[in-house]
Amino acid sequence: MMDFEIFEKKLGLKFNNKDLLKQAFTHRSYLNENPDFKLDHNERLEFLGDAVTELIITDHLYRDYPEKAEGELTNWRAALVNAKMMTSVAEELGFNDFLLLSRGESKEMGKARAYILANTFEALLGALYLDSGYKACDEFLQKYLLKNLGEIIKDGSYKDAKSKFQEKAQEKVSITPNYKVVKESGPDHDKIFIVGVFLGEQIIAEGKGSSKQEAEESAAKLALEVKKWN
């Protein structure tokens, strides 16, 4: 069994209820192979932790940047609380060594593991909130998540590809990009869109997605590469 005291020492945490900490790392698949395990999986904790994390990050951004408009703060928050960032922080903090997974799930890496790590990060915040309250969560997020904000602002990674491509296009060629659906396929409940991004009449790139927004973002990302505007 995992020794969660090692985890606590490493991260400077002290849980009163050790079961809450263990539950935060318990994936649904683990219970399928261990029906006698006394704890539930972590999905309810994840639900709570998602809200706690968003509130604390929002609170800090609101207080620390009074001169910034809502739109920019929203983008910064999205860059901090998205799955990619949470996965990165969870990996950095060694979450992989403590996950309780089925044998099959433990072999899965890549996107599947990244998804589990991001969810576990939120579940840990839910567990910490129930165990030690708002202040403990605030300190944890300041120490491990909010510290990334400076880098996010500096490198502009909070901007999505569409925003970046529009900025570059206006700067380089004084044209605002426009997007057109080139093709739609599949049934209504499972459509695939192919969208082209244009500068004037010239198509720069095409992107694919399960929504128009996703396809536009994909097209903009590729267009940045095509134009070497990254």
Q: Give percent of the chain with pLDDT exceeding 90.
A: 68
Q: Give the dihedral sign, CA 173/179/182/185.
A: positive
Instruction: Please report the pLDDT score of residue 108 as a whole number.
Output: 77
Give the pLDDT mean for 220-227.
92
151 and 70 part of one domain: yes
N residues, the chain: 230
Quote the domain boundaries for residue 189.
Answer: 161-226
100 and 23 part of one domain: yes
| 12 phi-psi bin (left φ>0, alpha ψ -120 to 50, beta other) | left
Dihedrals phi, psi of 204, to nearest 5 degrees? -100, -40
Q: Is 54 a catalytic residue?
A: no
Q: Rounded CA gap, 37 and 18, in Å?
A: 15
Task: Please give the residue that has the higher pLDDT: either 204 or 84.
Answer: 204
197 and 150 part of one domain: no
124 and 171 part of one domain: no
pLDDT in tens, 162-173: 878 888 898 899
Q: Is 70 a catalytic residue?
A: no
125 and 146 part of one domain: yes
Q: Are 123 and 49 in contact (CB under 8 A)?
A: yes
Residue where a domain stops, chosen among 93, 127, 155? 155
65 and 145 part of one domain: yes
Residue 106: pLDDT band (50, 70, 90) is confident
Residue where a domain stops, chosen among 138, 155, 172? 155
111 and 38 part of one domain: yes
Q: Per the structure, how many domains does the chain have?
A: 2
Tokens of 2: 């995992």
149 and 213 part of one domain: no
pLDDT in tens, 36-95: 999 999 999 999 999 999 999 999 999 999 999 887 888 899 889 988 899 999 999 999
Residue where a domain stops, chosen among 101, 131, 155? 155
Which residue among the candidates 5, 36, 43, 50 is catalytic per the annotation?
A: 50
Q: Are 179 and 165 in contact (CB under 8 A)?
A: no
Give the CATH number, domain containing residue 166: 3.30.160.20
Residue 1: pLDDT band (50, 70, 90) is low
Instruction: Please report the pLDDT score of residue 133 as a whole number.
Output: 97
Query: What's the pTM value of the predicted model, to 2 decimals?
Result: 0.73
Give the CATH number, domain containing residue 111: 1.10.1520.10
Instruction: Please report the pLDDT score of residue 107 as a whole number.
Output: 82
Which residue among the candidates 5, 59, 105, 122 is catalytic per the annotation?
A: 122
Min mean pLDDT across 29-38, 99-108, 130-139 is at 99-108
13 and 123 part of one domain: yes
